[in-house]
Structure 1
Amino acid sequence: MFAIAGGKGGCGKTTTALGLARGLATLGDSPLVVDADLDMPDLHHRAGVDHVPGVAAVATGEQPTAAAAPSSRLPGVDVLSCRESDTASAASAFERLRQCRRAVLLDCPAGASPAAAAPLRAADRTVLVSTPAEQSLQDIAKTAAMARQLDAPPALLVLVRSAGRVDPSPLFDCRRVVHVPKLPSPPLRTDESAARYLSGAKILSKRNT
């Protein structure tokens, strides 16, 4: 199970989570993307699914496959949405998702807050998402430190809106880096983004636990 984590909002976490999931589906997996951002849950909008209390349903015992909804925009990708009221049950749901026999990607809250710690604590590894800007890299360094402390060390660094001229991998002790260039909106509908996220999915598929 992978936590998709960014240092601040707007860095591309949700796009990355869905892009990697599409790549995993292309590789023959059946990925499940989970909205773990209870402060600003918007994964359902991006994925084209109804806003139903999927995380809460899993916490009360429903099977993740039954609670999830297939994305209308990304074939082969299922989505588990959440609502702001799911805070009390979220940690329990994340722990139950550890038993899921498929690739699970947790779209985490931004930063290194206590809210971000819950999905990181449940995850096996972390995908760090940042832009090449210095401030964004400084922010994600804090998230990387917290991920290691919670036993979810970085498996991949995704640099969005990146021309590939910056190599921050030594800063995070993470040699696996995918550069996603600045793309027209909506970015997930371009062949270029599909190719970049597929390369990231191939890295994760070798580490999937």
Structure 2
Amino acid sequence: MGGTMYAVAGGKGGVGKTTTALNLAAAFETGGTDTAVVDADLEMTNLGDLAGIDNEHSVHDVLSGRATVEEATVEGPGGVTVLAGEDNIDAVRRAETARLRDVFHTLRTNHETVVADTGAGLTHAALVPYGLADGVVMVTTDNEVAALDVAKTAEMVREVDGTVLGVVVTRTSEGTDADATADTVGEPLLESVPEAPDVAGEEPMVLTAPGSGPAQAYQLLAGSVEAAGGPAHEGESSGKRVRSPTQD
């Protein structure tokens, strides 16, 4: 049986999806779990920049047959294994999204936990991680439009037989009602992550500012995610067939 895989999904950009994916991976790693994080947002890649890594090969190279998963992964912050993307239109065009299943299989074989930062929309690249993951973590701010958008994404997750674990509300303040936002999304609240301008930009905060509010929230999130998608879900998705939401 391979490792456990979690997908991190959002509605619109700017809600902190990639930040959540990286910090969640770092929280798992610091907790003693061998973890890999992969940039599956093939058209808007920024995981590598956020992690501060220098990679010779990318996930796009793997998907185009130019490199293996092992050749494209590098050690990132805190020992997290990072498979980053490439911000290049030609690389996006070369990438064969049908190979994503094999990429995730290899990562799950090589690591105890895999965190996938996913894209948006109804593209094959966006839907594949939803269906293959043991659980999907939804990310939103307390903005009502953002919450409604992520609710639509949660519907897409279920359309491909994915499992929604719950929602993370980011950039919260003292007056934020995270429970109300979770109610708008229609999913259980996993964690709320406070905004902290004094440590913003220093990623992953789990490592760079472990005593900060966001770092502590991400550590709690890792526990909540494991509890929500624990042993009952492990390995469950390895044989899933990812279907289009237009299929019966």
Q: TM-score, normalised to structure 2's length?
A: 0.73
Matched to 2:96, the amino acid is A
Task: Check the 8 A contact 1:110/1:116 in 2, yes or no.
Answer: yes
Q: 1:180: how far off?
A: 0.6
Does 2:56 match 1:48? no
Structural mapping, 1:186-205, within 5 Å: 186=201, 188=205, 189-190=208-209, 191-205=212-226
Partner residue of 1:88? 96
The worse-fitting range, judged by mean Cα deviation, of 92-101 and 192-201 is 92-101
Per-residue deviation, residues 145-195 of structure 1 (Å, max 9, x unmatched): 111122221113110012341313345553242101112122624322110
Give the TM-score normalised by the residue count of structure 1: 0.86
Provide the rounded CA distance (Å) in 1 between the counterparts of 2:108 and 2:132. 7
Decide which moves more: 7-16 or 178-187: 178-187
1:127 aligns with 2:137: yes
CA contact (8 A) 2:37 2:81 kept: yes
Which ranges in structure 1 are unaligned for 5 or more consecutive residues?
A: none
Structure 1 residue 96 displacement after superposition: 3.8
2:245 alignment counterpart: none
2:190 to 164, 177, 182: 177
Q: Once the two structures are aligned, what percentage of the paired residues are identical?
A: 33
- 1:54 to 1:137, Cα distance in 2 relative to 1, 3 A: same
Are residue 68 (structure 1) and residue 73 (structure 2) matched? yes
Task: Specify the alignment match of 1:147 in structure 2.
Answer: 157
In 2: Cα distance, 1:76 partner to 1:46 partner = 15
Segments of 5+ residues of structure 2 without an aligned counterpart are 235-248
Structure 1 residue aligned with 2:80, among 64, 69, 77?
Answer: 77
Query: How big is the shift at 1:97?
Result: 3.4
Determine if contact 1:8/1:111 at 8 Å carries over to the other structure.
no
Contact 1:38 1:82 in 2 (8 A): yes
Once residues 111 and 117 of structure 2 are traced to their aligned partners in structure 1, the CA distance between those partners, rounded to angstroms, is 18
Deviations 1:42-61 (A, max 9, x none): 11111111233342438859
AA in 1 matched with 2:166: L
Number of residue pairs aligned between Structure 1 and Structure 2: 207
- Residue type of the partner of 2:177? R
